[in-house]
Every structure is written in structure tokens, then in C-alpha cells.
Amino acid sequence: MKKRLSALLAAVVLLTGCNNSQGSGSSTVIGGQVISRPESTSTSEKNNSDSSENTDNESNTESLPESGTPTENVPQDGKPVVYMTTDISPEGLQAVYDALGWSPTGKLAVKLSTGEPPASNYLRPELIGDLVKSLGGTIVECNTAYGGSRAETAMHYQVAKDHGFTDIAEFQILDEDGSMTLPVTGGAQLSENYVGAHFGDYDSYLVLSHFKGHAMAGFGGAIKNISIGLGSSEGKSWIHSAGSSRTNPWGGAQDPFLESMAEAGKSVSDYLGNGERIVYINVMNRLSVDCDCDGNPSEPDMHDIGILASTDPVAVDQACIDLVYSAEDGASLIKRIESRNGLHTLEHAAEIGLGSREYSLVSVDQ
């Protein structure tokens, strides 16, 4: 697995672009500067390597500070750091969370997808339970806008119980009492966003996302989880329709929908101290072309990759995209992403200041 990670990291550095089938010409994928962390010495000193493209694709190493916050560990070029492990386990999840050096302020919400029954690829409680319990967070979710088993509050609570989430934490449907409005600044499609009425009851958010394909967005990760995912039932329709309907999510134009996701996500980040009180973890396993809102998703035909974490939702999603594009078996997921012009979400998110498509990828594996 470590050999596979090394190959993937090298490929991310070399990746400069991909075809965007619904755009005009090609859409540039801005791969991250890669920093690897070798095995530590007998002291607490940690090393990272500041990658440079050279003939043998090896990187030069620089020492990290002996102590200090991750902000101090951000490379001098100012790119956000995305931490990564290939260990998809409770221990790996804990490791990338710890690498962020982030502590929640006040009451913590853990946002995830409860997953549509009967067979979706939602993040299992066995994977996330230890971390959620250690933080004392409340798992939160919102109702869907398209029917299914999670469109009504009572049924959705039952799904959360059936899927084991109520065994590991308190659980709340944020829009069980309707919506609250967040302002959208600098948006091309939206001027306001509708999230669950209880969104503001929480001071900090840990966003746990299963990275995968999506039938409408092309892919789903951190940005989708804080936009569509935190949208109330009416908010989901609002985003899908690019601000034209609170009751009908169907029939909107594709690019305005993608832009609306980015704009809704930015309203969430802005509300939470301009991103200070929210962090993101993407789990790259069970990489189906279909979302966890699909109760019978297509079976994945590519290997699991790892767990990534960042304080920047654009950076962590872009890193996942780059790893998919560099994988030898990623063709099906790439086809899904490009068929929906999915990269446009990242383009617009960066344009409006939600985050950066340039990043430094740091392995926490020893």
C-alpha cells in the first residue's frame, strides 16, 4: 500500500490537466505540491519533503518545526495542507484528524451522510465511532428533497438508528423544525442559502465525507457535504434549481447548479468564523460512481485510496480528484465526473474564495 501511495503522490505532482467533456476545451486540474513525511527519528522531530519536479521524481526534504501549530507547518508558499493516510481504519482517521491540530470550540456537530437504505456506501460507525466518541460530538444530517427513506424526519431518525449512528453519538436532523437563512456573498447564482433550522445551535463542525461519484454533481466530497448536505429539504431544492425554487429540485441547468453548491458551501464557511470553526475529512473507500443517496449504487471498480483531511474544503476535494485521476483504475469515476462537468464546482469555489485548488499533500504514514 505504501508503494501505491508513493506512486500516486508522484503522479499528482505530474498531473497538469484533464479533459472536461462539457466545458469548452480542457479544464486544468491544479495538482498540489507534495510533501512526504519519512519515518521519524528517536526524537519528536518531524521531517517533510518539499517536492520539486526533477528527472527521477524524487523530492528534497526540509525539516518541519519541532513544535508548533499546523499553520506554522504550512509551507512558505502559503498553500493549504492536505494530510493523508492510506490506513483506512479508526487509527488512520484519528491520525489525520490529529495532524490538523484543530480543536472544536463550544458545541460540536459531526456532519455526515446517513446513507440511503438498503445498500449505500455511507461511512460505517465502526470506522468513525472512536473519533466521534472522543470528541463528544453530535452527529447531524438534513432530510432529503427527493423522496426515499430519509425525506421525512421520523423515517430519517429510524435510518440513523438502523445504520448504527445513534449507538455512537447523539443524533439530530437539523431541519426537523424547518430552515434558517445564511447570506451568500459574492455569488453568481445565490444571494442566500437555506440550511437546517438547528444549524446555528452548534459552534463548530467536523465534516466527515465519503468521497465518491455522484449522479448529478459528478462527484461528492467536502463541498457537497456542506452545501447539499447541510441544506434543509427546501435548501436542497434551492441549490439544485440555482435559486429558482424551494420545492422542486429537478430540471435546473447543470453549471448554475454546480456554482450554487460552491456558493452555498461558502455561506456555511463564512458563518463559521470564515472557516475557523470547521474542518474536513474525506474518506476515499468504496469509490463507486454513485453517491450515498443511492440505495443501490454501482459496485466500485477501483481500489480504495486513503483518508484525507484539511481545513480547506476546496483543497481536500481537489486532492481527492487528483488521486483519482492518477489511479490506474479510475476510468469509471473519471468518466462520471467529466460527464457532469464536476470540476466546475472546484473552479467556481476557488473563484469565490471558498478555498484553494493548490495545496501541499502531506503523508502522515510512518
List pLDDT tens digits, range 273-295: 999 999 999 999 999 999 999 99
Mean pLDDT across the stretch 214-241? Answer: 98
pLDDT-derived band of residue 78, with 50, 70 and 90 as boundaries? confident
Does residue 342 belong to any structural domain of this protein? yes
CA nearest 229: which of 274, 278, 298? Answer: 278
Residue with cell 468504496: 286
List % helix, strand, coil for the chain (3-state, nearest 5): 30, 20, 50
Residue 47 located in a structural domain: no
> 64: which 3 cell numbers?
518541519
Question: Is residue 48 in a domain?
Answer: no
Q: Over 90: is that where the pLDDT of 223 sits?
A: yes
Q: Can you give the CATH number for the domain in which 223 is found?
A: 3.40.50.11440
* DSSP 8-class letter at 244: S
Q: Which residue has the higher pLDDT, 65 or 31?
A: 31
Would you say residue 44 lies in a domain? no
Name the region of 352 (left: φ>0; alpha: ψ -120 to 50; beta: rest).
alpha
Residue 288 included in any domain = yes
Express as a percent the part of the chain with pLDDT over 70. Answer: 79
- Of the candidates 32, 30, 35, 31, which has an alpha carbon nearest to the alpha carbon of residue 73? 35
According to DSSP, the residues that pair with 26 across neighbouring strands are 19
Question: How many domains in the chain?
Answer: 1
Q: List the single range of 53-57, 74-78, 159-163, 307-311 with lowest mean pLDDT.
A: 53-57
Going by C-alpha positions, the residue among 318, 128, 108, 124 that lies closest to residue 206 is 108
Q: Answer yes or no: is 175 within a domain.
A: yes
62 within domain boundaries: no
Structural domain including 153 reads 2-36+74-363
5-17 pLDDT tens trace: 555 554 444 343 3
C-alpha dihedral (112, 365, 322, 309), degrees to nearest 10: 30
The DSSP secondary structure of 75-105, one letter per residue, reads -TT-PPEEEEES--SHHHHHHHHHHHT----
What is the C-alpha separation between 190 and 183, in angstroms, rounded? 9
pLDDT value at residue 316: 98
Q: What is the pTM of this model?
A: 0.84
Domain presence at residue 68: no
